[in-house]
Structure 1
Amino acid sequence: MINMFRCQKSAFVTLAASMFLFAFAAGDLCAAETGTQAPAESAAQKDAVVQPAVKVTLRDSIAELFRTHDRIKAAEAAVASATHMHDRAKGAWYPRLNAVVDGGHEDMYKPADPSSTSKWRNTQTLSAAQTVYDFGGTSGGVNQAEGIRKESLARLDMIRQEVSLQGVSAYLGLIRTREMLRYAIRSEDNIKRLSGMQEALVERGVGLSYEELQIKAQLSQSQAHRINVERAYTNARNNYKSVYGVDLTEAQIDSLILPSLPTKNMPDSLDAAVTKALDSSPALIELQQSLTTKKGDLEVRESAMFPKLEAVADVTRKENDQGDAGLRSEQRYGLQVSYNLFSGFRDVDNIRAAKSDITSVRKSLLDRRRVVEERVRNAWNDILTLKKTISLYQNQANITWSYLELVKKKKAMGGEVTINEIITGERDYINATSSQVTSEIEHITAAYTLLNQMGLITPDVVEN
């Protein structure tokens, strides 16, 4: 009878202790949520309660990249260089004017002529030349330079898009790892509390040792997960510093605001997205302008197969030149034809090489069109599937939250609930909300990837 009483007493104490543990854990979990906010709401908004010390928005960050990033500055310098080279190529349409002046002492001795001279001499020559016709050589050079200039402009736009997408990825990646680390720390802290209290109960003889081992195993798993998330968080900070050139403080990282989906600039359908990308993708425009450059180069090389007609004129003043004392002047003007009759078939091979370059660019353009279309379709698919994934994770969070509420009520009514069930439910809820945040960020990243392929990422399209 006494043993039965002791067993009933021990069971009662164990049940009471378990109820206390659950109430404590559930209280911590509820305190982690913001008021009566439903778990189906955006988990990122739940944690955006910290008053930021410094406001750092994605729009301002992208605008700063446009102004200061070294790759963009290098591309802008390349555009300026190509513009100057284009102006230089157009200079071939204008006359060329040269001046030559020489002077010195001249001694002339002729063995067959007893007379010899020794005089100070000087000459001055002013010559001018104007290309009349060169069978497309000059115009081809201008077209080639114009193609290079437009190619550099397209490359500048492409680099801006690439740097902007890197900026978006670095910004959102830092937010994603920040939120994942918060949830990992929260889960580990809750399990630590349960582990410590269960260990105390076991020491007093009112707890079960196998439950303590289960909690410790869960704690080791959560600690390993937290360490992996910390590693990803550090890598995300390093990536942000690499892209933006600044190392944010913890307060600044906490102030990063998750941007909205850029719906205003999103196409209505997949076909519209593909059409827009094939028309305006900077990667395609760059190759199209490269094709113009190669065609201009072909015109220049083909012109070498034909004569070149120029109008020339020169005026020369001579003093004591060639042993003739006194001043003398000469004037010449007329037309000049230059023609390379044979150069060992180098001009022919030069033309063939230019045509092969054009074929290479055309094939590369076709290949890049397929790559751009693939990326657009993949980004569109990511947007659609991630939208469904977010909804499913929201549903999972709602279900696990309801499960925890039911477990709490069951415990309050004296039902038998193990600590492992509590930990499992809490872990599933935290994992669901963490996965929801991750999917939301990946959803936004996919949208900006789509805009990148269409060449539309600018600070103005970012919706904070």
Structure 2
Amino acid sequence: MTIGDVLRTAALSVVLAGTATAETLPSALARAYMNNPDLNAGRASLRAIDENVPRALSGYRPSVAATASAGATYETGRTGSSGVLANTRDALFPRQAALQVTQNLFNGFRTANSVREAESGVLGARETLRQTEGDTLFSAAQAYMDVLRDTATLDLHRNNVEVLEEQLRQTRERYTAGEVTRTDIAQAEARLEASRSQVSLAQANLQSSIATFRRIIGVEPRQLAAGKPPDQLIPSSLAQAVRIALAEHPAILSALHAVDAAELQVKVVEGELAPSLNLVGSVGGGYDTSVPGDRSVTAAFGAQLTVPLYEGGETYARVRQAKEVAGQRRIEAEATRDAVRSALFSAWGALESAKANVISAQAQVAASEVALTGVREEARAGQRTTLDVLNQQQELLIARVNLIVAQRDRVVGAFSVAQAVGRLNAASLALRVPTYRPGAHYEAVRDLPWGLTTPDGR
């Protein structure tokens, strides 16, 4: 089996079960984009955070409350007039109902700042979702290439077992002819058993990769086509990649929105120290409240001013606490920048190393194939031992495995750089899927004044 046969096996016929339409890397990424539970959970989390905006906007709207009460009272006694006493017994069934409307006019700008804080939270959550999307697509690409790598590696080890079985057969024939010793047979047998052990290990590695593929992408791998690196997403230089990452990476943008939200929270808490002005209107009615058959209707309208004077220091403590949290968020944003830059340098170096390893591994395979052919010819002429042939076969096997690993690392490395830059998403990869639009849910719920069902009908 030549290296060309191995690569065709890895690229065109990775058959793990019954054959079906070949799965490509883009189609696997599309499946992960639609079905991955972590990504769908992130979308649900964002939809929940969207609701913080209508909650904050409710501060601009009036609050309406209705109350009602009903009961019964019984009174017995004796009353007297002009020296005459009489027994009395009264029964009342009092009923009351009231409606009160309260409209805030000023609350220290707490409502306005709460709305802005909620909007910053939504924007930050969108960036977090974009980060989750990139992480999911990278994990899917990695799982896809791991299955390809482990399948091709398993095929190599199985082929090596076949080669060693043939080598053992020939060695035994030569032993019968008196050309080699019993030691040569023992060497061939030992190498064959070691190769069979490698097959078992390769099978275990493949099963693990299949399980990861199923968890991330949502289906069993059937027939996988060759994976291609997303080179169109890779900047032309490391310096350009750093500039793009610092400007566009979702982790950095999410951290900056968290800073904005924390600073607005300081203003929200400080607003609690300001006066609050409300308009209050009420209307109510009562029946049988004092004597049987009486009725009353009352209506009131007025302004209510509340000035906080002292609350034991609790509000002041929360203001100081909010300021410290805002400072923490600023520090975290700087740490995120450093982490993104570090991850990008690491990914870029790994990609460059993988590219060089592919070239070296290809040269190593070519040289090892030539060397094995020469050693076998020399062994037939009696100039090489059986151990020399076995060692050269092992060298070729290692070279072929190294090439497969290098090719896998080349593709995964490109995805890693795209992820580190912050451009790994369904749109940039041109996946054939309906793109999830986070703003659709936000627009649907932002100004809803009532309703218990979600936009999707739940």
Q: TM-score, normalised by structure 1?
A: 0.82
Hey, what does 1:258 align to over in structure 2?
226
Tell me the CA shift for residue 463 of structure 1. 8.8
Hey, what does 1:458 align to over in structure 2?
425
Tell me the CA shift for residue 123 of structure 1. 2.4
Tell me the CA shift for residue 453 of structure 1. 2.2
Hey, what does 1:421 align to over in structure 2?
388
Hey, what does 1:72 align to over in structure 2?
39
Question: Mean alpha-carbon deviation: is it higher for 431-440 or for 109-118?
Answer: 109-118
Hey, what does 2:341 align to over in structure 1?
373
Tell me the CA shift for residue 361 of structure 1. 1.6
- In the alignment, which of 29, 42, 66 is matched to residue 62 of structure 1? 29
Equivalent residue pairs, number: 421
Q: Distance in 2 between matches of 1:363 and 1:108?
A: 72
Hey, what does 1:231 align to over in structure 2?
204
Q: What SS does the aligned partner of 1:313 have?
A: strand
- Find out whether 1:102 has 2:69 as its counterpart: yes
Question: Mean alpha-carbon deviation: is it higher for 348-357 or for 78-87?
Answer: 78-87
Hey, what does 1:431 align to over in structure 2?
398
**Structure 2 vs 1, CA of residues 409 and 214 (structure 1 numbering), >3 Å: closer, same or farther?**
closer
Tell me the CA shift for residue 141 of structure 1. 1.9
Contact 1:157 1:282 in 2 (8 A): yes
Hey, what does 2:7 align to over in structure 1?
44
Q: Distance in 1 between matches of 2:389 and 2:327?
A: 67
The within-5 A match list for 1:46-445 is 47-48=10-11, 50=13, 53-54=19-20, 55-106=22-73, 118-248=91-221, 252=222, 255-323=223-291, 326-407=294-375, 414=381, 416-445=383-412
Q: What SS does the aligned partner of 1:259 have?
A: coil
Q: What SS does the aligned partner of 2:163 have?
A: helix
Structure 2 counterpart of 1:402, one-letter code: V
Tell me the CA shift for residue 93 of structure 1. 0.5
Q: Distance in 2 between matches of 1:110 and 1:343?
A: 50
Q: Distance in 2 between matches of 1:135 and 1:341?
A: 14
Q: Distance in 1 between matches of 2:368 and 2:397?
A: 9
Structure 1 counterpart of 2:342, one-letter code: E
Structure 2 counterpart of 1:155, one-letter code: T
**Structure 2 vs 1, CA of residues 116 and 347 (structure 1 numbering), >3 Å: closer, same or farther?**
farther
Q: Distance in 1 between matches of 2:102 and 2:357?
A: 73
Q: TM-score, normalised by structure 2?
A: 0.83
**Structure 2 vs 1, CA of residues 297 and 116 (structure 1 numbering), >3 Å: closer, same or farther?**
farther
Q: Distance in 2 between matches of 1:61 and 1:142?
A: 40
- Unaligned 5+ segments in structure 2 are 82-87, 432-458
Tell me the CA shift for residue 119 of structure 1. 2.5
Structure 2 counterpart of 1:419, one-letter code: T
Percent same amino acid among aligned pairs? 16
Structure 2 counterpart of 1:296, one-letter code: L
Question: Mean alpha-carbon deviation: is it higher for 110-119 or for 360-369?
Answer: 110-119
Tell me the CA shift for residue 173 of structure 1. 0.8
Q: What SS does the aligned partner of 1:321 have?
A: coil
Hey, what does 1:22 align to over in structure 2?
none
Deviations 1:358-390 (A, max 9, x none): 122221221121111111101100111111111
Deviations 1:383-428 (A, max 9, x none): 111111111111111222222344466578x573333333333322
Tell me the CA shift for residue 317 of structure 1. 2.3
Tell me the CA shift for residue 168 of structure 1. 1.3
Tell me the CA shift for residue 112 of structure 1. 12
Q: Distance in 1 between matches of 2:320 and 2:78?
A: 56
**Structure 2 vs 1, CA of residues 400 and 281 (structure 1 numbering), >3 Å: closer, same or farther?**
same
Q: Distance in 2 between matches of 1:112 and 1:147?
A: 72
**Structure 2 vs 1, CA of residues 43 and 378 (structure 1 numbering), >3 Å: closer, same or farther?**
farther
Q: Distance in 1 between matches of 2:302 and 2:111?
A: 21
Tell me the CA shift for residue 441 of structure 1. 0.6
Q: Distance in 1 between matches of 2:415 and 2:77?
A: 86
Tell me the CA shift for residue 323 of structure 1. 4.4
**Structure 2 vs 1, CA of residues 312 and 222 (structure 1 numbering), >3 Å: closer, same or farther?**
same
Q: What SS does the aligned partner of 1:288 have?
A: helix
Hey, what does 2:456 align to over in structure 1?
none
Q: Distance in 2 between matches of 1:275 and 1:113?
A: 99
Contact 1:62 1:164 in 2 (8 A): yes
Tell me the CA shift for residue 110 of structure 1. 11
Structure 2 counterpart of 1:93, one-letter code: Y
Tell me the CA shift for residue 445 of structure 1. 0.7
**Structure 2 vs 1, CA of residues 460 and 303 (structure 1 numbering), >3 Å: closer, same or farther?**
closer
Deviations 1:93-144 (A, max 9, x none): 0122222222333457999999996432222222211111111211122123
Q: Distance in 2 between matches of 1:123 and 1:185?
A: 89
Q: Distance in 1 between matches of 2:412 and 2:77?
A: 89
Q: Distance in 2 between matches of 1:108 and 1:293?
A: 61
Q: Distance in 1 between matches of 2:102 and 2:136?
A: 48
Deviations 1:413-461 (A, max 9, x none): x573333333333322232122111111111111111112233223455
Q: What SS does the aligned partner of 2:71 have?
A: strand
Structure 2 counterpart of 1:426, one-letter code: Q
- Unaligned 5+ segments in structure 1 are 1-31, 34-38
Contact 1:108 1:323 in 2 (8 A): no
Structure 2 counterpart of 1:222, one-letter code: S
Tell me the CA shift for residue 182 of structure 1. 1.1
Question: Mean alpha-carbon deviation: is it higher for 49-58 or for 305-314?
Answer: 49-58
Contact 2:172 2:185 in 1 (8 A): yes
Contact 1:72 1:160 in 2 (8 A): yes
Tell me the CA shift for residue 270 of structure 1. 0.7
